[in-house]
Chain A
């Protein structure tokens, strides 16, 4: 019996004409790890909701065909019954918790199954240990960060040890380290508990190496169901936006087949003599002076700056320091990525630079207005119509003129992002634009549009500072990366120098090539590999 089986399943949301899912036939076998990929609005989240029973029981609409979850037909069993065999984690962690404390949240699904007090306590302890959230058990949920909340919600989904786990972009709120840890943890559950996993994810490079199969949706149809390597081959021809950086690196270098992850890519390159076994270039400064910081730090420029801060300190009311003695200067037109783990102080720094928060100590200076785009673009949209948010000519400039009469909640995520950017920029050019995690939940096509827009701003002289966990975005956009840790700048250097010298804060290309040639993007990596091939084949 399959853990999950779709049989010619179609579904249309209430009030919509076009189906969100069309004739889907897909099976996830027990112990299988399946990744669901696709561009934005391709139907991935709806597929997950159909597997959890929310579609159609909760959302209404018209459905045909059949979905079996652990043998239970979703037509006869609602989300509550299906919860006994399937744990679900949806996108927004804030609405994925329902109790007031972490311990109660983890106990909640177990209590609903009628388990005794001892069994509940044991279940909570086990899942807390599995997800390393034991120290959060007594914390109120409204005091947790987005990443912590995500883990707690995942814990609640897994607490009852379901045979199938359905996850909708679980790493979207997490830094690269926590994101990798989460995927490894899912793989561990998959291998040790035999839990089947259906994972919807945009950042395929993070999870393909762990997947047994990849199901690709496009406009509500299943267009590819294959092994990761076969899927990448298919994507190269049909949907290049779904190619991982490793696949694009191989394509640029003219190598086949596309690798599903770093390990496979390195093995292939080694077999072709393009990479030495264990070749990893250490960060430049770590080689010569072991007492200096591992990462290079950039001196604050003495020349004119668009935005700068000096000796910034920020403490919470309980005395905890978020930022410590932090200096930063952005030159006009400079494109900078601000990176660091969850809780490193990135969002706080952006808020202070934009004047939303006052620092405990230190000074901020700007040449002109500082625009800040916070994490959730929907928060900026407070009117009933798109054209009430900004002037019509600005709408046209951002390619949104056709949506003038739409409600801001009804437009896509990428469109909402552009509209919010138009709102904060306000038509007039600010001296600096700050963006907090702008690519969360975005596909590569939408990321490309955002990068083009930010480059345009930079060319006009606006300094751009992007706080992001997305190393691929940082590599494609930024000239400089500032890495925060514990409220301090621990690295401030050109992008290639920072992102090619690490493991977690490194692009997939840099991890494959071990930092060779400081290549961070597939294009740069492809050039490095091609030059090696040329040298080796030259007489």
Chain B
């Protein structure tokens, strides 16, 4: 299935520090509010931005991973938390759990927790998708050389070992017995990839040496790139999102309490707050310029 073309690459063109700020703002909003309207707004903003930037496929994979985890959390919350007062199901005595009463408050809060986990993971996936890792490493080299070296090595090793594991798995399937199955075969594979990891890391480290990383000379002073239109657009959106975060927290907007009874404040202010989150996030890709051809 082909991926729809992006309509704007502003977030991908912006410098990594600015794109990262934008992604962190969305993650922070999802972390700060449990109100379903705000979570829905952050989700809409995240998927909208991903759609406009053409990176929705990366989010889909993350969400597919997040949903089972989130649903598990929702079920566990409903079964274990006994703070609600509206009992909707009595299971009686269960081994290990003792008396289990499911309350509507715990059920609702569990599902909101699940929604929050999905939104946080989706926003984090957006952050990874829009930030250029090479640019991050380049900037890290200026301030934290050793950390950047480790990060460069580790980042590349993920790709190298993933490709090693894929090839070795194919080789395993080429064996006359199909390479066996079960835990022992898996352990052999993992052991083999891991034992090769040291050699591969040494090879990548040798390449870093050969490209002159260890003897790096600082770039000339004043050699900084001026802020582009894309940088300014994304920065404005990111700062706008952070402003909404601060105002929302300070003003106690989108108040939500699950226990002992559900308290959900949903008025014009909350609707406006949620709408502003979506509009501020989408402003960068919508107004920051069309995709380069």
Contacts and interface: CB of A to CB of B under 8 A. Distances in A.
Interface in B242-270: none
B225 A90 contact: no
Given A379-B168, A423-B175, A426-B177, A114 B218 contact: yes
Contacts of B199: 409
A380 B175 contact: yes
A73 interface: no
B160 interface: yes
A240 interface: no
B134 A84 contact: no
B213 A112 contact: yes
A98 B147 CA distance: 15
Contacts of A18: none
Given A98-B204, A382-B192, A114 B217 contact: yes
Interface in B164-212: 164, 167-168, 170-177, 188-189, 191-192, 196, 199-200, 202-212
Interface string A94-121: 1111111100100011011111110000
A113 B217 contact: yes
A95 B191 contact: no
Given A116-B219, A117-B219, A374-B167, A96 B207 contact: yes
Nearest to B162: A142
B174 A356 contact: yes
A376 interface: yes
A83 B168 contact: no
B207 A97 contact: yes
A100 B156 CA distance: 7
B216 A114 contact: yes
A430 B175 CA distance: 12
A29 interface: no
A99 B134 contact: yes
A92 B2 CA distance: 32
B174 A109 contact: no
Contacts of B177: 426
Contact of B207 (A98, A371, A430): A98
Contact of A54 (B170, B210, B223): B210
A78 B192 contact: no
B1 interface: yes
A319 interface: yes
| Residue of B3, B132, B164, B176 contacting most chain A CB atoms (<10 Å) | B176
A100 B152 CA distance: 9
Contact of A114 (B152, B211, B220): B220
A78 B170 contact: no
B217 A79 contact: no
B138 interface: yes
Contact of B174 (A53, A80, A112, A380): A380
A58 interface: yes
A130 B281 CA distance: 42
A484 interface: no
A36 interface: no
A88 B219 contact: no
Contacts of A376: 167, 171
Contact of B212 (A104, A112, A424, A428): A112
Given A111-B219, A142-B163, A424 B174 contact: yes
Interface in A285-306: none
Nearest to B216: A112
Interface of B: 1-3, 132-135, 137-138, 152-153, 155-156, 159-160, 162-164, 167-168, 170-177, 188-189, 191-192, 196, 199-200, 202-220, 223, 225
Q: Across chains A and B, which 7 residue pairs bring their CB atoms closest together, nearest first?
A: A114-B217, A426-B176, A80-B215, A104-B134, A95-B203, A379-B171, A112-B212
Given A54-B206, A142-B163, A317-B1, 14 more contacts: A78-B209, A84-B215, A95-B200, A98-B207, A100-B155, A104-B135, A112-B215, A113-B212, A142-B159, A374-B167, A379-B171, A380-B172, A382-B189, A427-B176
Interface of A: 52-54, 57-58, 78-81, 83-84, 88, 90, 92, 94-101, 104, 108-109, 111-117, 141-142, 156-157, 160, 317-319, 351, 354, 356, 369, 371-374, 376, 378-383, 409, 420, 423-428, 430
12 contacts: A57-B209, A79-B214, A83-B210, A90-B206, A96-B207, A100-B134, A117-B219, A318-B2, A356-B173, A379-B167, A382-B191, A426-B175
